[in-house]
Amino acid sequence: MSELSNKSIVLASRPVGEPTAKDFRLETSSVAPLKDGEVLIKTLYLSLDPYMRGRMSAAKSYADPVAIGDVMVAETAGIVVDSRSDNYVVGDYVCCRAGWQEYFVSHHKDPMTYKVDPGKVPLSTYLGVCGMPGRTAYFGLIREGKPVAGEILVVSAASGAVGSVVGQIGKKLGLYVVGIAGGEKKCAYVKDELGFDECVDYKSDNFGSVLKAACPNGIDIYFESVGGAVTEAVAKQFNPGARAPICGYIASYNATDITKERTPFHIFGELKNPPEHKFFLVFDHYADFAEANSALTKWVASGEIKYQETVAEGLEMAPEYFSWLFSGKNFGKLVVKVADK
């Protein structure tokens, strides 16, 4: 195979506040020849997710930060274009953690590289509803939220990649589901298309009272991914024995000093009867990924679970697209189309 050049986007500096273009740098390098057991994967789609903001910071966290000069992390979907492994052949479609780059060399024993079938569901959905966000929703609600039919579930960021799936699974489990989203368009989508019972616009002037009216019998489960004022309003309505799985709190991700932020842990901790709550990682349930993958793929293929994607094009534009996550410009799962097959 002739020598290939690989474009990648690396972390150039640690952002203060919201990331800007100067925090990234586009680089070009040669793809090294494969060794035994290795496969070369061409990136077709890469996923942009809020957790990446935390990986840009040097602050202590559940995962090591991206080093200055290293390729930005990301889950990707692509196609094998060269192989020195009996486990993969040219033409196989795979998901892996290639990061923000055109090509990635993986070893056939890497557990984070695995085959997918775009004949069942579109390839990009393996980065969203059938991928990490979908698994986060699945395990976050079922294992962490411990739902009981008839309970009231409130979902933050309900039109987003995770929240939209949480609410739909909640309906399948017999819950009364109230979503929280930003703007009339997103709220209408959540209720009319996804089938939530209600959806409240957090941008409304009377958000707290509208949320209370939507949940007259209180809140049993709150799926948390936002924090801030949304969480402050929700916290006033918990029922005894409530649960609040926390997968993130994007309202604080661009804070210059996270230690001065009121996170969900502060808000819940101040309550007389706080909900059962903890920050969970989808990888806490790694042993059962196959269970979630099978269920999500089946539901999406059958139309039981609906999804929305914002597909932006061009690797070079990924830093700009990344900012959409914090402004709410994207609708549903945000992916970047890096190349055609």
pLDDT at 248: 83
pLDDT at 140: 97
pLDDT at 68: 97
For 203-232, what is the mean pLDDT? 94
Residues of the chain with pLDDT > 90, as a percent, come to 84
Question: What's the mean pLDDT when you consider all of the chain?
Answer: 94
Assess contact for 27 and 50: CB atoms under 8 A.
no
- Two tokens at 151? 């309970």
Instruction: Render pLDDT for 84-98 as a digit per residue (tens, 0 to 9).
Output: 999 999 999 999 999
Nearest-angstrom CA–CA distance, 250 and 162: 13
3-state secondary structure of 194: coil
pLDDT at 58: 85
> Where are the CATH 3.90.180.10 domain residues in the chain?
5-127+307-337
* Confidence band of 326 (pLDDT split at 50, 70, 90): confident
For 160-173, what is the mean pLDDT? 97
Tell how far CA 223 is from the center of its chain: 13
Instruction: Render pLDDT for 17-56 as a digit per residue (tens, 0 to 9).
Output: 889 999 999 999 999 999 999 999 999 999 999 889 989 9
- With tokens 């960021």, the residue in question is 157
Residue 127 has pLDDT above 80, yes or no: yes
Burial pattern 265-281, b for ≥16 Cβ within 10 A else e, equals eebbeeeeeebebeebe
For 105-129, what is the mean pLDDT? 96
Q: 229 vs 222, 250, 258, 304, 327, CA distance in Å? A: 14, 12, 16, 32, 16
> Where are the CATH 3.40.50.720 domain residues in the chain?
132-283
For 144-163, what is the mean pLDDT? 96
pLDDT at 291: 96
5-127+307-337 has which fold? Quinone Oxidoreductase; Chain A, domain 1 (3.90.180)
Instruction: Render pLDDT for 256-271 as a digit per residue (tens, 0 to 9).
Output: 566 667 888 889 999 9
Domain covering 132-283: architecture = 3-Layer(aba) Sandwich (3.40)
pLDDT at 19: 93
Nearest-angstrom CA–CA distance, 213 and 43: 46
Residue 2 has pLDDT above 90, yes or no: no
For 225-232, what is the mean pLDDT? 90
pLDDT at 251: 61
Picking from 261, 314, 278, 340, the residue whose alpha carbon sits closest to that of residue 48 is: 314
Instruction: Render pLDDT for 291-324 as a digit per residue (tens, 0 to 9).
Output: 999 999 999 999 999 999 999 999 999 999 999 9
Residues of the chain with pLDDT > 70, as a percent, come to 96
Nearest-angstrom CA–CA distance, 220 and 127: 30
For 281-297, what is the mean pLDDT? 95
CA atoms within 13 A on the CB side of 319: 20
Q: Mean pLDDT lowest for which of 58-62, 129-133, 243-247?
A: 58-62
